[in-house]
């Protein structure tokens, strides 16, 4: 399970939508609590975005009629 979570946040779309913003925040913001809050927020937004994309992909692949 740990491998799947790692892949979800470190491969594919995650490099653009999750890893790059997190690295940018860690580099430019010195406040650790703010960085932690923003990284959790970005993680939540990324997860919701991927669930929405998966839903529409599944809906287009297998339409219910």
Per residue in 15-60, pLDDT (tens digit) is: 888 889 999 999 999 999 999 999 999 999 999 998 998 888 888 8
Which pLDDT value is given to residue 65? 65
The answer to whether the predicted template modeling score (pTM) of the entire model surpasses 0.85 is no
Give me the sign of the Cα torsion angle 18, 21, 24, 25: negative
């Amino acid at each position: 399970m740990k491998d799947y979570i790692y892949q979800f946040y470190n491969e594919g779309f995650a490099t653009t939508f999750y890893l790059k913003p997190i690295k940018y925040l860690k580099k430019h913001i010195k406040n650790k609590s703010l960085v932690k809050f923003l990284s959790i927020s970005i993680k939540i937004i990324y997860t919701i975005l991927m669930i929405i994309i998966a839903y529409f992909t599944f809906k287009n692949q297998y339409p219910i009629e």
